[in-house]
Structure 1
Amino acid sequence: MPQAKSGDTVRVHYTGTLDDGTEFDSSRDRDPLEFVVGAGAVIAGFDNAVDGMEPGQSKSVHIPCAEAYGEYVQEAVAMIPREHFPDHIVPELGMALQIPQEGGTPVVVTVTAVTDEAITLDGNHPLAGKDLTFEISLVEIV
């Protein structure tokens, strides 16, 4: 039976959980995730786990944060004084915003606190600093 390898397009079903068992994502109620193995479209640990799998095979893989969304970086959190925040945006907890950077590439930040004086923005991925576990089933190699 063929095994998935770098450059193959694969379709997988997965369920992702945190160490405490909280489910953060699953493809079970939708179409399988399709991606090219080794192309960097998914986190490194997930990509590595699918490499070598056969269609119909399932596995559980624990992915440390370094192979997922990285460590949580406190320097990626900033408090912006209310007077420096655009008037046309009403910040709400959990709101995602794109902030333009030098060179034009925007960075996505999440509003994590709102007071009368300041808005706190977090540039970390919501899963940064967390180890992840995935139940992965290889549906097919396309």
Structure 2
Amino acid sequence: MSDLRSLLCHMNIVLEDGSTAESTKATGKPARLNIGDESLSPAFEAQIVELEVGDSHTFTLAAIDAFGESNPDAIHHMDRSKFPADMSLEAGVIVSFGGPGGSEIPGVVRDVAGDSVTVDLNHPLAGHEITFELEVVQVI
């Protein structure tokens, strides 16, 4: 695509079971979706490229086109000693790891068995079919 543009959208991210995983209306802060910079999957971009201010659009994407498939290589078994002694480690807890260039990589604790902690570094929504409910607030 030759022209880059961004959409500010209120967005609900809805899981297969109908529950809302995230809603920008709850925070009052619309999401910025950049078209043409390869930050979005081609399937996602194809759904929003024609949208204008005031448009509402609902669409469902397979996991591969939304947040990707769950990658088993991103699940790590780590020793309990790698975590702060006072950290509460139980399934569902989000932990943060230092990434390249000072970035932070979130991980979700999946299991704790003795001194072994299983951490999943996949995006929390990876592996899920996702329905996006968008309402365009502004085109930049």
1:60-99 equivalences in 2 (<5 Å): 60-82=58-80, 84-88=81-85, 90=87, 91-99=89-97
* More helix, by proportion: 2
Q: 1:15 aligns with which of 9, 12, 15?
A: 12
Structure 1 pair 31–93 and aligned structure 2 pair: CA distance change class (3 A): same
Q: In structure 2, what residue type is equivalent to 1:122?
A: D
Instruction: Specify the SS of the correspondent of 2:46.
Output: helix
- The aligned length equals 137
State the 1:35 CA deviation.
3.5
Structure showing greater radius of gyration is 1
Q: Which piece of structure 1 moves more, 42-51 or 52-61?
A: 42-51
Q: In structure 2, what residue type is equivalent to 1:13?
A: H
Instruction: Specify the SS of the correspondent of 1:66.
Output: helix
1:94-133 equivalences in 2 (<5 Å): 94-100=92-98, 107-133=105-131
Gaps of 5+ in 2: none
Q: Which piece of structure 1 moves more, 47-56 or 5-14?
A: 5-14
Aligned to 1:139: 137
Gaps of 5+ in 1: none
CA distance in 2, matches of 1:92, 1:54: 44
Q: Which piece of structure 1 moves more, 95-104 or 60-69?
A: 95-104
1:27 correspondence with 2:24 = yes
CA distance in 2, matches of 1:68, 1:18: 11
Q: In structure 2, what residue type is equivalent to 1:119?
A: V
Structure 1 pair 45–24 and aligned structure 2 pair: CA distance change class (3 A): farther
CA distance in 1, matches of 2:100, 2:54: 46
TM-score (norm 2): 0.78
Root-mean-square deviation (CA, aligned residues, Å) is 2.7
Structure 1 pair 89–51 and aligned structure 2 pair: CA distance change class (3 A): farther
State the 1:131 CA deviation.
0.6
- Aligned-pair identity (%): 25
TM-score (norm 1): 0.77
